[in-house]
Amino acid sequence: MNMNVILRAVAYAAYAALLVSWPLRLKKLRRKAGAPVLPLKRKQNALMYAVLVCAPLLIVLQTVRDFGLPVNAVLCGCALFGAEVVIRDRILGGMAGVYEHALVADGRFFLLSDITALPTLSYEDGSEQESLYARSLKVVTRTSGVVFIGFADENERNAAVDVLVKLKPELKS
């Protein structure tokens, strides 16, 4: 059997596995996050679904034209990577909010136990506030280090900070 045929078969199987894993991954993250406390604005991007439809076309294209094994492998990898990015974006974008055990915002998932500080809170009322983006929040985590999270508007950001401080009071200091 030709290596290109095997590569395409593996890519189709991996793509199908990604699609099948979507609801399972969503369920696992929801269980890990706990009950929703504050929903945040969810991202709506129809272009992501177009990527999800076009990604397997990169694999199908290889049946029409042989680009050689290295290029075919790259095309399969791009298709699978694109599908993974879309699925992750749809899962995290649809879950956006503050939960009893997690913060899901800006396409990221943080367990509250992993968040060590919200440094912007210490100087928000000072003179540095003008240079600070009103819709962003600086978060320090154990695993990811310093991360900036963007919110839809300043009110949503402030509401999320209030809930985070209620759920984990040591973040206030």
Query: Are residue 106 and residue 75 in the same domain, yes or no?
Result: no
In this prediction, residue 154 carries a pLDDT of 85
Average pLDDT along the chain:
87
Helices (H), the chain: 3-33, 46-64, 69-94, 154-167
Whole-angstrom Cα Rg for the chain: 20
In a shared domain, residues 125 and 164: yes
Residues 109 and 152 grouped into a single domain: yes
Kindly state the average pLDDT of the residues 133-141: 84
Domain of residue 82: give its range: 3-96
Question: 22 and 104: one domain?
Answer: no
Q: What is the share, in percent, of the chain residues with pLDDT greater than 70?
A: 91
How large is the average pLDDT for residues 115-140?
69
Has residue 69 got a pLDDT over 50? yes
User: Tokens 């900070």 sit at which residue?
Assistant: 161
Provide the residue type at 72 as one letter: N
pLDDT of 124 > 60? The answer is: no
More confident residue, 121 or 155: 155
Domain co-membership, 90 together with 105 = no
Last residue of a domain, one of 96, 126, 146: 96
- How many domains, in total, are found in the chain? 2
165: CB partners within 8 A, 6+ apart: 118, 121, 171, 172
Q: The whole model's pTM is what?
A: 0.81
Residue 97 pLDDT grade (very low, low, confident, very high; cuts 50, 70, 90):
very high
Task: Tell me the β-bridge partners of 146.
Answer: 140
Which DSSP string corresponds to 67-87?
--HHHHHHHHHHHHHHHHHHH
Domain boundary among 96, 120, 147: 96
Burial 33-55 (b: 16+ CB within 10 A, else e): beebbbebeeeeeeebeeebeeb
* Cα(72)–Cα(93) distance, integer angstroms: 31
Domain boundary among 96, 125, 142: 96
Query: Do 92 and 134 belong to one domain?
Result: no
Residues 81 and 127 in one domain: no
Whether residue 32 sits in one domain with residue 89: yes
pLDDT at position 112, please? Answer: 92
For residues 88 and 8, state if they share a domain. yes
pLDDT tens, 44-61?
Answer: 778 888 998 899 999 999
Are 110 and 77 found together in one domain? no
Confidence of residue 173 (pLDDT cuts 50, 70, 90): low
Q: Can you give the pLDDT at residue 131?
A: 42
**Pairing of β 136-141 and β 145-150:** antiparallel
- Considering the domain architecture, whether residues 11 and 91 belong to the same structural domain is answered as yes
Residue 129 has pLDDT above 60, yes or no: no
